[in-house]
Amino acid sequence: MKKKLYIAYGSNLNVEQMAWRCPGATVLGSAVLNDYRLAFRGGRHGAIATIEAQQGCSVPVLVWSITPADEERLDWYEGFPTLYRKEKMKVTVEGKTLTAMIYILNGSKPACPPGCDYYSAILKGYKAAGFDPDVLRLAVQESGRMMDDGLCPFQSQLDLVPFKTADSQVR
């Protein structure tokens, strides 16, 4: 059975969730996508994670080895090809440069913070992988700030997300 490499940056960082969704998947290691930022896009029912090119930013990721059956499950979960598309990217894991598949959100959807359950699943993955949760928190805050109309249906949730400011104060 031929395995494929898959880059996760959102809720699929959550190892427990992936064990249920993709039982043949194993974590190969962690990596960083340089010159990309984590963003949340969606609508009134909560936003979903994507990555967007942005010079000087970075996104921590897990690289998974997945089976063809795992990929089919991920395609369904990610709404491929309607909601997300697949692209190939190069990542460096333990000193080796590898090419892996990644899901990226299609089209331009409005910025909005994610719902609490989705955010919690991603945060759990960040913590388990040893990633800096401030990357996630900043993406949530930026998504709230970028909304065109300034009214986010999840503003009360956004206010509950602890975030360290530049002077290291938690607000």
Distance in angstroms (rounded) separating the CA atoms of residues 91 and 153: 35
Instruction: Answer whether residue 165 is part of any domain.
Output: no
Q: What is the percentage of the chain residues whose pLDDT exceeds 90? A: 74
Distance in angstroms (rounded) separating the CA atoms of residues 56 and 44: 30
Instruction: Answer whether residue 137 is part of any domain.
Output: yes
Domain limits for position 11: 4-160
Whichever domain contains 147, its CATH number is 3.10.490.10
Judged against a pLDDT cut of 70, whether residue 129 lies above it is answered with: yes
Instruction: Answer whether residue 141 is part of any domain.
Output: yes
Tokens matching residue 143: 């998504």
Number of domains in the chain: 1
Instruction: Answer whether residue 65 is part of any domain.
Output: yes
Helix, strand and coil content of the chain, in percent to the nearest 5, comes to 30, 40, 30
Q: Which residues pair with 48 in a beta bridge?
A: 41
Per-residue pLDDT averaged across 110-136, rounded? 94
pLDDT at 147: 52
Question: What pTM was estimated for this model as a whole?
Answer: 0.84
Instruction: Answer whether residue 144 is part of any domain.
Output: yes
Q: What is the percentage of the chain residues whose pLDDT exceeds 70? A: 84
Instruction: Answer whether residue 166 is part of any domain.
Output: no
